[in-house]
Amino acid sequence: MPPNPLPQAWLRLLGNSIVSEFRRTGWRTHKTSRAWNPTGNPRSSYGSAAPVVRSKLLTNTETFETVKYVQGTVEPVSIVGVPPLAWLLTAQVVGECLPAEFVEPLNSVMNRNRGDAPFLVRRNGRGEVSVGSSRASFQERTAVTLVAALAEVRVLDEVDYWGAVGEGFDAEFTIQVLEGQL
């Protein structure tokens, strides 16, 4: 269970991951639907002896909801105390909770043509590692931090995380971790 509120280093690295993944994939779409038969009877199997002739007028699925989302992981950075994280962010949450003055800065930082990250992990003058700011403006960094705070975050076990992203990568296992089934 992640701490509430999330520490600043977590939010910044989470923000970098969200920006990177959003630039790469944009919003993904997940549709929830059900199949139905216009006669009210259960659907016949596809291999039945008397198949039902389907026309374009009778669509046999009903969409309940469409969710736009982006998801990803944050690699652990133990020197600043960030464990491996899995996150999920939906467009609905961002649209409802992000203040209007941060929409334009967020759109600017999410631009695919930019190659910079909003926050950098680097050593300061005393040799201490910290997560500091980059060339992104203050408003862009604030918008990314607010969006990171809106994401659904799960703390992953570090051994499981490195096992999932190491050699012999098992995509099904990673999907189960991200969906919280493990």
> Does a structural domain hold residue 56?
no
> Does a structural domain hold residue 141?
yes
> Does a structural domain hold residue 132?
yes
Residue-number span of the structural domain to which 148 is assigned? 8-36+61-178
pLDDT at 109: 85
Q: What's the pTM value of the predicted model, to 2 decimals? A: 0.71
pLDDT at 59: 57
Separation of alpha carbons 9 and 77, rounded Å: 10
Separation of alpha carbons 99 and 93, rounded Å: 11
> Does a structural domain hold residue 14?
yes
Torsion sign (Cα): 176, 177, 181, 182: positive
> Does a structural domain hold residue 173?
yes
> Does a structural domain hold residue 54?
no
- State which residues of the chain have pLDDT below 50: none
> Does a structural domain hold residue 82?
yes
Q: pLDDT per residue over 24-39, tens digit each?
A: 888 888 887 766 666 6
> Does a structural domain hold residue 55?
no
pLDDT at 107: 87
Number of helices (H) and strands (E) in the chain: give both, helices first: 6, 6
Overall domain count for the chain: 1
pLDDT at 43: 55
Separation of alpha carbons 10 and 27, rounded Å: 22
